[in-house]
Amino acid sequence: EDQVTQSPEALRLQEGESSSLNCSYTVSGLRGLFWYRQDPGKGPEFLFTLYSAGEEKEKERLKATLTKKESFLHITAPKPEDSATYLCAVQGIMDTGRRALTFGSGTRLQVQP
């Protein structure tokens, strides 16, 4: 059974204070690891897909990295508008028939001005 654990549950940063969110996963053959952003009252919005260890993706102040056991979402010099819940999800090779992702419970990020 695929499992995804995210830490910390909540993180409060000052504007400009860089940090990282962690996503640890267990999957029988990784097809892809996904990061989503969810604003209050809205559905999750896609950020990145990572496929293999060593891969990195960047978007504005966000950079996602992947190892064989975990992924990090690095936030550089965050701004208040980066405040959101960040969700990590995996799809295992055995899941492709299911076509569904297994999600973690998310990290709630608050960036204070």
Positions touching other proteins (CB under 8 A) are 4, 9, 31-32, 34, 36, 41-46, 49, 87, 89, 91, 96, 98-106
Q: To which residue do tokens 């936030």 refer?
A: 75
Of the two residues 76 and 83, which places its CB atom closer to other proteins in the complex?
A: 83
Tell me the closest approach of the beta carbon of residue 17 to other proteins, in angstroms. 26
> CB of 24 within 8 A of CB of 31?
no
Pairing of strands 56-59, 84-92: unpaired
Tell me the closest approach of the beta carbon of residue 36 to other proteins, in angstroms. 8
Q: Sort residue 29 into left (φ over 0), alpha (ψ -120 to 50) or beta.
A: left
Of the two residues 17 and 46, which places its CB atom closer to other proteins in the complex?
A: 46
Of the two residues 10 and 77, which places its CB atom closer to other proteins in the complex?
A: 10
Of the two residues 52 and 105, which places its CB atom closer to other proteins in the complex?
A: 105
Comparing C-alpha atoms, which of 78, 100, 97, 81 is closest to residue 89? 100
The tokens for 74 are 């690095």
